[in-house]
Amino acid sequence: MISGPQFPLPANEPEVHFGRGTSAASELTKALEQRDVVEIPTVIGGKRYFSNEVVEVRAPHDHQRLLARIHRPSEAQINEAIASSKAVARDWANLTHASRATILHRAAEIVATRSRMKINAATMLGQSKTVEEAEPDSACELIDFLRFNAYNAQRVYAEQPISVASAVNRIDWRPLEGFVYAVSPFNFTAIGANLSTAPAIMGNTVLWKPSEKSALANYIFFEALEEAGLPPGVINFVPGDAELTTRVALSSRDLAGIHFTGSSAVFQSLWKGVASKVDSFRTIPRLVGETGGKDFVLAHASANASEVAIALIRGAFGYQGQKCSAASRAYIPKSLWGAVEQELRDCLAQLKVGDVADFSTFMGAVISEASHQKLSRVLSAAKEDPAVKVVSGGKTWSEPGYFVEPTVLQVSDPKHTLMTEEFFGPILSLFVYEDNAWSETLELIDATSPYALTGSIFCTDRFALHQAEAALVNAAGNLYLNDKPTGAMIGQQPFGGGRASGTNDKAGSYLNLLRWASPRTVKETYMPPREWQFGA
């Protein structure tokens, strides 16, 4: 229930700029040069556990550079984490919203100030993000998630039914009965913060399994939460083996929800795992998953070629195409293609790929050797395929890190797998359509991929735009008009998609928070009847 202070609507955290010669640039450079190897423990009930099962974290763009060592928990320790969250659950649920929100606000302040350079540097080194990609993620979006979730929880709690002269009604916004299993991906440090704290602000306890590939930055955030006063056990930090941790979590009768972001295949396996034993849980688990995408950019003949080309460069190659929202298939009208192609080639010839510690780099390395091998195979096959023309790029190299050149491929078959599958790398596939085939192209886009996450339409003809929005109504959960399909801001473009892209619960909004509450309705009647006959 709401008692105490009311928190105002937050503003989005402004970005710090790291221009040459600024004090921000020199502070960040210092953090990037730090060579200590961090030992990342499992944290259960506030206690740190170090084990013999260690996984090394290395910089993807410089795999000789060891950054951290993750100490994986044993099966017994994962069970202990579940027990520890159960022990604190009632006290945590009974705190006021203001107390819980204060912890999130304080953590946001820590990240915004003292820990900002450290978490940005960890995201840059551990996940190979440039500063232009790290600052909006590990600082701004992470801070926004904390502040907006605290604010949106207050909106949820304020929602109450009507009362009448004869009775008072209320909703108790209870947390779920049990713990929430939060499983986060590597590609945004902010997502780990949201998956763990969104259920917690609603009074739930959480078993958080971060991706090993982002564990360093996630652990720095977890330390900020501890410093902000998060009570031990409310969120346990469990960087365990994915399959083992999941098996243990799904074996517990107290599993009340899964808060997942990652690939569609893994989310579907989690869903099946829960479904196969649904009668073993105390309460039917809530399943929230934001998953993969094959996000489109559609240009109409009325669009500006230069704006289309720039949106493709930024949308497809920012963070090496490793955003769920990355533009990975494009549809360009024949009349525009010559100009778009020229601009793409000109820009890509200048675009720098390399060490992210150099602030003029546009793209770092892809996240892992496995991803590098997969993308190399896709590009080798494309080069041999007569249905594909390499417009630009296509090279890969693996020293000193896992690099893939930004690549544009033109396909002659719009249903080619290059237009349907998510590769999660810097590969943009495109199809050039006849200008008079606008309506057919809309149908094609809608039917080509199983995903429906983001999409963008470049068009200045209002009638054509209106037709496209209607035809593509289910093709994207986040639709952009005359803009690239990436870069959603908390509070401005609530994020999530449908079809194979997930449950579309809109991360960072009150809609997501509703999934972590189990409302109890209470009616109290002032004058209970004393006669059993109606009308007496």
Catalytic site residues?
290, 324
CA–CA separation, 456 and 123 (whole Å): 28
Q: Which of residues 195-214 bind ligand NAD (CB under 6 A)?
A: 209, 211
Q: Which of 202, 230, 324, 388 binds ligand NAD (CB under 6 A)?
A: 324
Q: Two tokens at 435?
A: 């200008």
CB 325 within 8 A of CB 318: no
DSSP assignment, residue 473? T
Q: Which of residues 284-323 bind ligand NAD (CB under 6 A)?
A: 290-293
- Nearest approach in angstroms of CB 109 to ligand NAD is 26
- Dihedral (CA of 497, 503, 508, 512) sign: positive
Counting Cβ atoms within 10 Å, is residue 400 exposed (0-12), middle (13-18) or buried (19+)?
middle
Complex with ligand NAD: residue 18 or 424, whichever CB lies closer: 424
Q: Which of residues 394-423 bind ligand NAD (CB under 6 A)?
A: 422
- Nearest approach in angstroms of CB 384 to ligand NAD is 26
Q: Which of 51, 263, 302, 398 binds ligand NAD (CB under 6 A)?
A: 263
Complex with ligand NAD: residue 243 or 399, whichever CB lies closer: 243
Q: Which of 269, 280, 342, 525 binds ligand NAD (CB under 6 A)?
A: 269
Helices (H), 276-406: 305-317, 334-350, 369-384
- Nearest approach in angstroms of CB 25 to ligand NAD is 28
SS3 347: helix
Q: Which of residues 223-252 bind ligand NAD (CB under 6 A)?
A: 242-243, 246
Q: Which residues contact 398 (CB under 8 A, 6 or more apart)?
A: 369, 372
> Over the Cα atoms of the chain, what is R_g?
25
- Nearest approach in angstroms of CB 111 to ligand NAD is 19
Complex with ligand NAD: residue 90 or 247, whichever CB lies closer: 247
Helices (H), 351-483: 369-384, 438-448, 462-471
* Nearest by Cα to 210 from 40, 457, 331, 367: 40
- Nearest approach in angstroms of CB 498 to ligand NAD is 11
Site track 456-495 with ligand NAD (rule: CB under 6 A), x = hit: ---------------------------------------x
* 187 contacts ligand NAD (rule: CB under 6 A): yes
- Can you give 40-101 as a three-state secondary structure string? ECEEECCEEECCCCEEEEEECCEEEEEEEEEECCCHHHHHHHHHHHHHHHHHHHHCCHHHHH
- Nearest approach in angstroms of CB 23 to ligand NAD is 32
- Binding-site residue total for ligand NAD (CB under 6 A)? 28
Q: What phi and psi, each to the nearest 5 degrees, are found at residue 409? A: -120, 130
Complex with ligand NAD: residue 20 or 272, whichever CB lies closer: 272
Q: Which of residues 374-393 bind ligand NAD (CB under 6 A)?
A: none
Q: Which of residues 165-184 bind ligand NAD (CB under 6 A)?
A: 183-184
* Nearest by Cα to 313 from 416, 398, 377, 391: 391
| Cis bond before residue 400 (omega within 30° of 0) | yes
* 186 contacts ligand NAD (rule: CB under 6 A): yes
Region of 77-85, 97-105, 220-228, 262-270 interacting with ligand NAD (CB under 6 A) = 262-270
DSSP assignment, residue 214? G
* 453 contacts ligand NAD (rule: CB under 6 A): yes
- Nearest approach in angstroms of CB 413 to ligand NAD is 24
Complex with ligand NAD: residue 107 or 183, whichever CB lies closer: 183
Q: Two tokens at 202?
A: 């609603």
Q: Which residue ranges make up the site for ligand NAD (CB under 6 A)? A: 183-188, 191, 209, 211, 242-243, 246, 261-263, 266, 269, 290-293, 324, 422, 424, 453, 495, 501-502
